[in-house]
Structure 1
Amino acid sequence: MTEISLIIPAYNEAAIIQATVSELDIFMKNAMPGRSFEIIVVDDGSTDGMSDKLEALDMPNLRVERHARNRGRGAGVRTGFAAAVGDYVVTLDSDLSYSPDHIPRMLAPLEEGKADIVLASAYHPDGVVRNVPWMRAKLSLYGNKVLSAGVRGQLHTLTCIVRAYRREVVKKLELVSDGKDLHIEIIQKANLFGYRLAEIPATLDWRDKSRAKRVGKGSSFPLFALSGTIASHLVYNYVLRPGAMLFLPVAALSMIIFIGAMTLIGGWLIRTVGFMEHGFFYAVYYGLRETLLQGSLTMTLTAGSAVVLLVFFAFYFQSLQSKKQFEELYLLMARMNDRLKDLERDKTD
């Protein structure tokens, strides 16, 4: 019985894949003796001969799953999940930027029954980031801060591939993302099932010096290369917790409305007092008239802000309704899927 399945999705990593797999194999045998394990490399449609490099390795516990074409990291992880047979499943990056010594640290909370999913977090208060280009590191940090707001600060790093799972989790979740969004999709759906998520401080160290040159290749400015990821983070933040993204604009509009309303009311009261010598009703009417005439810009800004605020509230309640419908539908489909699996199992038996 295999205890641990180590999954490495990789694309065109022929230059480093043998060293990665060998280092991982040596670490597991030395640091975790007596533990049975398998290493699953998912070749995501590589064109640089990476599969040949893997076939040349004499490693009985190595398995290679292949995609006919490049489909993305998420597809690679999902293929690895489907192939894994271990009680615990660990996903790793192909260049071991998170060193193998994170593996036993991630497995510990699972084996102690304290968590169902454990994430390695370089952006944890005790985490470390080394040799990552400054622009890349900052964008990733703040992108994860945005996502963290979506889970109420429960986690510091939501986009890292380096994680450990109980096998039940990876078999239970129905996942669809082919790209890096899979990491966030897993957290979103794991929360729906009430799975316990934990985080360990981690060290991210880009040991492959050529990696920095490949990031943003084809773009004159790194931000352009990461714009899709940033947009994706904002979308998922909105999906995870709609109110988190709407808080700032709603607060700003509310402040504008409050200040505008207080300005208009204050001006009206001052003018009304000035007209009191002509009688109460005269003072009230002309005080209001003069306030509206002289404060037309303030009134327009206040009224416009109120209309926009109502639109934001409409978006908020609509998004809450959509989120609730999605969660109910997903849970229903998951129950149906479990029932179908039970029926198939009964039929086989």
Structure 2
Amino acid sequence: MDHTDRRNIELSLIIPAYNESAIILRNVEEIEQWMGQHQPDIDYEIVVIDDGSTDAMGQLIDERAKTDPRLKTLHHNGNRGRGRAIRSGFENSAGRYVICLDADLSYGPDHIPALLEPLKTGAADITLASAYHPAGSVSNVPFSRALLSRWGNRVLSVGLRGKFHTVTCVVRGFTRDVLDHLELINDGKDLHLEIIQKAELFGLRVVEIPAHLKWRDRDRGRKRKTRIVDYIPFLSMSGTIASHLSYNYVLRPGSILNIPVVGLLAATLIGVLTIIYAFGERLINLPGGLGPTKLYQALRETLINGELTLLLTGGALVVSMVFIAFYFASQQNKKNYEELYTLLNRINIRLRELQEKKNR
């Protein structure tokens, strides 16, 4: 990314937005007023990415940008996803530090200093706003949605070795050096997980900042509920949940496969012990002394009478072996992916260095 043609901006505030015409101008103004009052010495820009809005939001923000030198707008031809909008913001911003905010300001502008300070002092390469941090808080969010989000983040955190409390929040801070060297590809909300995964792969310092998530009591530009599933948080978020779980599996295959493997092996063990117990009981109850004929008869009766148990036990064992093989194959794929990504990223860095030398 070439930022040499722009003025020396310290901070870029990135806002991905889709159909937020009801609130976008008001929130941009709120950010600018807050920055003027609390961060007057920071040279900053606001980059709003219109992700293919159909409610004239793009025109509104373009009109304001004509008289607002701090405001820059980008437009996607269609709705390409939150991840792609954020990446467009990264690519078209100029600040030495970048903070991504949500369009509805559910995390208010007062989070900016806390996200920015660790980046400026060198204590962090990436900062995460975390409402589910022990010192964080949530208010004015429907209970069912907040509960689903909190537990969803706990599950996803397992794929990241449980180091973070909130991994899906859009509100984050970055140094420019990190953004220039991380190769990001996700267009959807999985970008949030991809960033943490790749940051950890390169040993970058990722710091969680306790945050306050608050839905505001005003028109937030939400989508209208037109289907029954829109009224049920789990169903309305099913696509996002499935996508995140799939990515969680990529991050750490064992986090999903451990449960079925352990369960199937436990079922196999119980089945085997049941068959052994039944065999021993028949062996004791059959008349005559112990010999090959008695052993054969006891085994035959055990297998005939326990046909269903034997079938279930064998099936559980076979399926568990399939899962175990799949687990090791997935671990190898993960290792190969990380090695390939690391190699390609180093090649890209070297190419940039050579290009910079050539341009001097």
TM-score, normalised on structure 1?
Answer: 0.93
Alignment check: 8 A CA contact 1:275 1:282 kept: no
Q: Which runs of 5+ in 2 are unaligned?
A: 1-7
Q: What is the aligned counterpart of 2:227 among 219, 225, 246?
A: 219
What number of residue pairs does the alignment pair up? 348
1:11 is matched with which residue?
Answer: 18
Report the AA paired with residue 203 of structure 2.
G
1:213 Cα deviation after fit: 5.4
The alignment partner of 1:174 has SS state of coil
**Kindly tell me: are residues 48 and 295 of structure 1, through their superposed partners in 2, closer, same or farther at Cα, counting changes over 3 Å?**
closer
The alignment partner of 1:255 has SS state of helix
Q: What is the aligned counterpart of 1:72 among 42, 65, 81?
A: 81
TM-score, normalised on structure 2?
Answer: 0.90
The alignment partner of 1:178 has SS state of coil
Alignment check: 8 A CA contact 1:273 1:283 kept: no
Alignment check: 8 A CA contact 1:146 1:233 kept: no
Report the AA paired with residue 74 of structure 1.
G
1:318 Cα deviation after fit: 1.5
Deviations 1:299-329 (A, max 9, x none): 1111110001011111111111211121111
Alignment check: 8 A CA contact 2:20 2:220 kept: no
The alignment partner of 2:228 has SS state of coil
Q: What is the distance in 1 between the residues matched to 2:340 and 2:105?
A: 37
1:59 is matched with which residue?
Answer: 68
Q: What is the distance in 1 between the residues matched to 2:249 and 2:218?
A: 35
The alignment partner of 2:41 has SS state of coil
Alignment check: 8 A CA contact 2:127 2:208 kept: yes
Report the AA paired with residue 343 of structure 1.
L
Q: What is the aligned counterpart of 1:320 among 326, 331, 348?
A: 331
2:3 is matched with which residue?
Answer: none
Alignment check: 8 A CA contact 1:219 1:225 kept: no
2:283 is matched with which residue?
Answer: 272
1:287 Cα deviation after fit: 2.7
Q: What is the distance in 1 between the residues matched to 2:189 and 2:54?
A: 21
Q: What is the distance in 2 between the residues matched to 1:214 and 1:139?
A: 19
Q: Please list, as runs of the form range in 1=range in 2, the aligned pairs for 1:95-244 lying within 5 A after superposition.
A: 95-207=104-216, 209-211=218-220, 214=223, 217-222=225-230, 223-244=234-255
Q: What is the aligned counterpart of 1:28 among 16, 29, 35?
A: 35
Is 1:87 the equivalent of 2:96? yes
Q: What is the distance in 2 between the residues matched to 1:337 and 1:208?
A: 46
Q: Which runs of 5+ in 1 are unaligned?
A: none
| TM superposition outliers: structure 1 runs of 4+ over 4 Å | none
Q: What is the distance in 1 between the residues matched to 2:292 and 2:221?
A: 74
Deviations 1:188-240 (A, max 9, x none): 2222212121212211111154448526x332123433111111121011111
The alignment partner of 1:204 has SS state of strand
